[in-house]
Amino acid sequence: MVGHPPPKDQPGFSDQPDWPGQPDWPGQPDWYEAGLQHLWFPYSQMKTAQPPLAIASTHGERLQLADGRSLIDGIASWWTAAHGYNHPHILAAIQKQLQAMPHVMFGGLMHEPAARLAARLAQHLPGDLDRVFFAESGSVSVEVAMKIALQYGINQGRRRHRFLFFRHGYHGDTLGTMAVCDPDEGMHRHFEGMLAQQIMGELPDDPARLTALDDLMSRHADDLAAVIIEPLVQGAGGMRFHRPETLKVVADLCKKHDILLILDEIFTGFGRTGTLFACQQAGIVPDIITLSKALTGGTLPLSAAIARRGIYDAFHSDDPDHALMHGPTYMAHALGCAAANASLDLFQSEDRLGQCAAISRQLADELEPCRHFPGVRDVRILGAIGVVELMRPPNIDKLRQAFIDRGLWIRPLGSVVYLTPALTISPADLSALTEGIRACLKDL
Ligand code: PMP
């Protein structure tokens, strides 16, 4: 019976976890092996993956392992922990909110943390992006953005049903978002032919591609509900950067063909690329923007799809059918909103963008030597993102272990070794990370 393992006392139940070998660490916690038999980990072939590390706590830029070791985190938990872990201001805000109210349904009720956060996001975002729909994860906020784009057309009597995305793009793991991820190189390639048929374009980073994209958009203008793009950095698709001018071209083509533009700033939002939002570097305002990850400073799950006034206006009517029929149970989670407000306080009171610029300079100085290593294809830096791309994927397990042996947490993405540290990381800890990368990649 699929999905229902026999109870423990029946034959067929294996007490042995399906991992290649049990980690044999002194100090391994008692919950480790029992839990391993029941957990399903992300992006992992469970049969062959290295056993995960047992984490006891976090602090600043450090992961404290259950066996007593401590690692400097080069990734900030998928680039969420912009202020480092356990920032006292965020913890205090969560604790205060916890005493008052952890969560309440958002249908027919509202609360101060969400109200304050929505108003503050509207104030910080460019242009008239000022109508905020909260959700809990990045993927769901992209789903909401896509749904808003579809219904924007429906409410005006235009049934445009397709989306244009870009090669190497990544927008999430749910069914709708999988259909706008790169189908060839992305991690969802075996679902080809099973998802909604969307349209893939090439980033217009040269004149020939600009013409090709212009033609593609012109051909599909009557079908396209929106164009969706990760501005300046295609993250999970290989940490690929494009210039603000390229982003501007995409925005201009959307205007020319009267197609909505969705910017997915789930990775790039909140200072990662050097400005609070990446779109500010291109001087553009999308029709809808999605935010998550560093929104709560890496503490609680929260996301938002935020629409321009003109988009919202198409929903604001006497016709009940014009309403947006969406409402995640935990939307606008009060603890998450309190954490996000505290995170915004820190962006205002501490010089995160200055720290990002300093990280950028240090990454450039200290990763640049890797360019001359055999096996290295490219070194690139943008904001607080440092990338060393290899010619071919390394033995990931071996490389990861070599980093761990040096007290570093760095998780290569295929052939891309990258750093997205907390914006608060000290120069000494950042140097330990870059030195580790240089040492481990030198002889690959
Ligand atoms: N869009 C982008 C650009 C992302 O980087 C991610 C997460 N890596 C997502 C969407 C999906 O977010 P989540 O994992 O929270 O669903």
Check pLDDT > 70 for residue 204. Answer: yes
Binning pLDDT at 50, 70 and 90, where does residue 180 land?
Answer: very high
Share of the chain above pLDDT 90, in %: 90
Helices marked H in 101-187 — which ranges? 112-124, 138-155, 175-178
In a domain, 26, yes or no: no
Share of the chain above pLDDT 70, in %: 94
**Minimum CA distance residue for ligand 1 atom 13:** 138
Check pLDDT > 90 for residue 18. Answer: no
Q: How far is the CA of 143 from the centre of ligand 1 (A)?
A: 11
- With a CB cutoff of 8 Å and minimum separation 6, the contacts of 107 are 327
C-alpha 64: how far from chain center:
23
Domain boundary among 296, 315, 349: 349
The pLDDT of residue 1 is 28
Residue 156 sits in which domain range? Answer: 101-349
| Mean pLDDT of all residues in 92-96 | 98
Claim to verify: residue 309 and residue 373 sit in the same structural domain = no
- pLDDT tens for 27-44 read 689 999 999 999 999 999
Domain boundary among 349, 369, 395: 349
Claim to verify: residue 230 and residue 342 sit in the same structural domain = yes
The pLDDT of residue 24 is 52
In a domain, 152, yes or no: yes
Q: How far is the CA of 4 from the centre of ligand 1 (A)?
A: 30
Claim to verify: residue 339 and residue 412 sit in the same structural domain = no
Distance of alpha carbon 109 from alpha carbon 390, whole angstroms:
51
Distance of alpha carbon 303 from alpha carbon 79, whole angstroms:
14
In a domain, 330, yes or no: yes
Taking the model in full, what pTM does it have?
0.94
Average pLDDT, the chain: 94
Amino acid at 77: S
Q: Which helix (H) or strand (E) holds 379?
A: strand 376-382
Q: Catalytic: which of 32, 85, 152, 170?
A: 170
Claim to verify: residue 305 and residue 361 sit in the same structural domain = no
Neighbouring-strand partners of residue 390: 376
DSSP character at residue 131: E
Domain boundary among 349, 378, 413: 349
The pLDDT of residue 11 is 38
Probe target for ligand 1 pocket from 140, 266, 300, with the most ligand atoms within 8 Å of CB: 266
Check pLDDT > 60 for residue 5. Answer: no
Claim to verify: residue 56 and residue 169 sit in the same structural domain = no
Claim to verify: residue 220 and residue 329 sit in the same structural domain = yes
Give the CATH number for residue 293: 3.40.640.10
The phi, psi pair for 308, rounded to 5°, reads -70, 160
In a domain, 27, yes or no: no
- Contact present, 230 and 240 (Cβ < 8 Å): no
CA distances 114 to 122, 147, 222, 340, Å, are 12, 22, 37, 9
| Mean pLDDT of all residues in 236-257 | 98
Check pLDDT > 90 for residue 421. Answer: yes
Q: Is 43 a catalytic residue?
A: yes
The pLDDT of residue 379 is 98
Please give the span between the terminal C-alpha atoms of the chain, in angstroms, as a whole number: 46
Q: Is 312 a catalytic residue?
A: no
Distance of alpha carbon 4 from alpha carbon 1, whole angstroms:
6
From the list 48, 61, 60, the residue with the least C-alpha distance to 21 is: 48
In a domain, 91, yes or no: no
Give the CATH number for residue 80: 3.90.1150.10
- pLDDT tens for 292-303 read 999 999 999 999
Claim to verify: residue 46 and residue 169 sit in the same structural domain = no
Range scoring the smallest mean pLDDT among 8-22, 202-216, 237-251: 8-22
In a domain, 12, yes or no: no
Q: What are 212's two structure tokens?
A: 């090709």
Q: Which helix (H) or strand (E) holds 214?
A: helix 207-220
In a domain, 359, yes or no: yes
Check pLDDT > 70 for residue 333. Answer: yes
Ligand 1 site, residue 301, Cβ cutoff 6 A = no
Q: Catalytic: which of 85, 152, 182, 264?
A: 264
Binning pLDDT at 50, 70 and 90, where does residue 25 land?
Answer: low
Claim to verify: residue 76 and residue 118 sit in the same structural domain = no
Q: How far is the CA of 431 from the centre of ligand 1 (A)?
A: 28
Q: Is 330 a catalytic residue?
A: no
Atom of ligand 1 nearest to the CA of 230: 3
Q: On the CB side of 15, how many CA atoms lie within 13 Å of its CA? A: 3
- pLDDT tens for 153-164 read 999 999 999 999
**Minimum CA distance residue for ligand 1 atom 5:** 267
Q: Catalytic: which of 293, 312, 418, 429?
A: 293
- Contact present, 420 and 75 (Cβ < 8 Å): yes
Q: How far is the CA of 233 from the centre of ligand 1 (A)?
A: 13
Binning pLDDT at 50, 70 and 90, where does residue 20 land?
Answer: very low
From the list 438, 169, 113, 143, the residue with the least C-alpha distance to 292 is: 143
**Minimum CA distance residue for ligand 1 atom 1:** 171
Claim to verify: residue 272 and residue 392 sit in the same structural domain = no
The order of strands in the sheet holding 162-166 is 129-135, 303-308, 288-291, 260-264, 224-229, 162-166, 199-201
From the list 272, 261, 240, 251, the residue with the least C-alpha distance to 380 is: 240
Ramachandran region of residue 60, left (φ > 0), alpha (ψ -120 to 50) or beta?
Answer: left
Binning pLDDT at 50, 70 and 90, where does residue 189 land?
Answer: confident
* Total domains, the chain: 2
In a domain, 434, yes or no: yes
The pLDDT of residue 26 is 63
Claim to verify: residue 181 and residue 73 sit in the same structural domain = no
| Mean pLDDT of all residues in 122-142 | 98
Binning pLDDT at 50, 70 and 90, where does residue 370 land?
Answer: very high
Binning pLDDT at 50, 70 and 90, where does residue 56 land?
Answer: very high
Distance of alpha carbon 123 from alpha carbon 73, whole angstroms:
32
Q: Is 255 a catalytic residue?
A: no
Q: How far is the CA of 12 from the centre of ligand 1 (A)?
A: 38
Claim to verify: residue 264 and residue 330 sit in the same structural domain = yes
CA angle 87, 362, 279 (to 5 degrees): 70
Claim to verify: residue 387 and residue 309 sit in the same structural domain = no
- Contact present, 74 and 409 (Cβ < 8 Å): yes
